[in-house]
Amino acid sequence: MAFTLSIHPWVHLAQYNGTEWIDNDLEQEHQTPEQEAALPEAELDALMVQRNSFPGLPLVNYTTQYGLGCFEGLKAFPQPDGSLKLFRPDQNCQRMASSMKGLMMPAVKPELLLDGIRRIVAKNAQLGFAPAYDAEWEKDHWLSGAAVYIRPFAYSEPGIGINLSKKPWVVTVCTNVSAYFTPGANAAVTSQRIRATKGGTGWIKTAANYVTSTLAKTEAINDGYMEAIFLDAETRENIEEGSSCNFFALFPGGQLVTPELGDTILPGITRSSIIELARSKGYTVREEPLSIHRVLSDAKECFVTGTAAGITPLGSLTHDGVKKEFSSLEDGSTANTLLKELKGIQYGAVKDGFNWMMDVK
């Protein structure tokens, strides 16, 4: 599985007290990784429940009752020299603050969150709770590579009536992750569901957005596809996003197109990185409305991007029963070339000419 709820012992907690943000690191109950791996299943489950418990956080609040919450996802990647490096964590911390502002919460200070992330990743690594670099990952260009997944999330103070959060927490936990998508034909299908509407919260990484995404992806999987692709709410003509990822299409002449940002599309960190990386390689990258019919008639390749997915080439896209196959899965495709470059930078095998990687303290 890509994600497992095996939270690492050190957690970062920050709360706004009405005037300022106060933070601290919390060490949850744990044994050594080797001892935990040897525990009977029932004992390990009980330990994981204990580690996932924060008694000071209220159960009944604006987050649990009304979905008034947001989160981030970023990774720390094992390096060949035994260290860990974070991929563009400053961008995630800035987006977390932007999401909180979008929900009219006091926004966490990005520098405070970044410092906390670096500290707890380092502390967990010192305890052995981080994957070590494995040269075997290089054989499939790190598609099977493991990393530390870092999840900061906002959580409100107690409340039962519909209201805004004035004194939220930001809790940050870590867990090990592996590949997100299972290798295969990578077939996608457009969804009849609507992810976001203009004037809504589509641009915020809010928990509420992921209900529709989860339903659409589950329906796609049940129908034999890997991914669901959302169209815009107004015209139902333009591609917007995947279930939890941004969308790219390659057209003749080396033109790479991704839907332009607005209040219905999440500004992905991997998305912006791919735009920068592709332009450095001579591609013309356009951010503009992207018609599903244009993709079906003219696109040579399609792929999706995100923190969990990285870059995932799509082998086909089906819309209203019409299936278009792409060359994205072939060796030497643009999708795979960009994937190898991005993964190489993240795992320390390719020079980071963009200053994206940050040392863990």
Half-sphere exposure in the Cβ direction for 92 (13 Å, CA): 28
Residues 165 and 256 in one domain: no
How far is the C-alpha of 230 from the C-alpha of 189, rounded, in Å?
A: 9
Eight-class DSSP state of 67: -
Same domain, yes or no: 227 and 115: no
Residues 173 and 292 in one domain: no
Within a domain: 212: yes
Quick one: 279 and 194 in the same domain? yes
Higher pLDDT, 140 or 25: 25
Q: Are residues 279 and 134 in the same domain?
A: no
Same domain, 23 and 167: yes
- What is the model's pLDDT at position 1? 45
Of 134, 155, 177, the domain-final residue: 177
Asked whether residue 104 is domain-assigned, the answer is yes
Q: Is residue 357 part of a domain?
A: no
The residue from 149, 177, 205 where one domain ends is 177
pLDDT tens by residue, 52-97: 999 899 999 999 999 999 999 999 999 999 999 999 999 999 999 9
Q: Is 209 found in the same domain as 130?
A: no
- CB contact set of 89 (below 8 Å; sequence gap of 6+): 74, 114, 117, 118, 150, 358
Asked whether residue 36 carries a pLDDT value surpassing 80, the answer given is: yes
Cβ neighbours of residue 217 under 8 Å, at least 6 residues apart?
227, 228, 243, 244
Note whether 194 and 142 are same-domain residues.
no
**pLDDT of the residue at 5:** 80
Whether residue 102 is contained in a domain is answered as yes
Let me know the angle formed at the C-alpha of 125 by 121 and 129, rounded to the nearest 5 degrees: 105
Determine the length of the chain. Answer: 361
Indicate whether 336 belongs to any domain. Answer: no
User: Quick one: 163 and 32 in the same domain?
Assistant: yes
Question: CA torsion sign, 287 to 211 to 196 to 96?
Answer: negative
Q: What CATH number should be reported for the domain holding residue 284?
A: 3.20.10.10
Give the pairing type, strands 187-190 and 316-319.
parallel
CB–CB of 63/154 below 8 Å?
yes
User: How many structural domains is the chain composed of?
Assistant: 2
The model's pLDDT over 317-336, given as tens digits with 9 standing for 90+, comes to 999 999 999 999 999 999 99
Per-residue pLDDT reduced to its tens digit, 225-269: 999 999 999 999 999 999 989 999 999 999 999 999 999 999 999
232, with CB counted inside 10 A (0-12, 13-18, 19+), is buried
CA gap 292, 327 in Å, rounded:
17
**pTM (2 decimals)?**
0.96
Instruction: Supply the range of the domain harboring residue 292.
Output: 187-329
Residue 153 DSSP class: E
Residue 180's pLDDT is what?
A: 62
Mean of the per-residue pLDDT values of the chain? 95
Q: Does some domain include residue 290?
A: yes
Does 287 lie in the same domain as 224?
yes
Q: Is residue 169 located within the same domain as residue 192?
A: no
CATH number at residue 48: 3.30.470.10
Residue 340 lies in a domain: no
Same domain, 251 and 324: yes
User: Would you say residue 293 lies in a domain?
Assistant: yes
170-225 residue pLDDT tens: 999 999 998 765 667 799 999 999 999 999 999 999 999 999 999 999 999 999 99
Which of the listed residues 177, 198, 227 is the one where a domain comes to its end? 177
- In the chain, what percentage of residues exceed pLDDT 90? 93
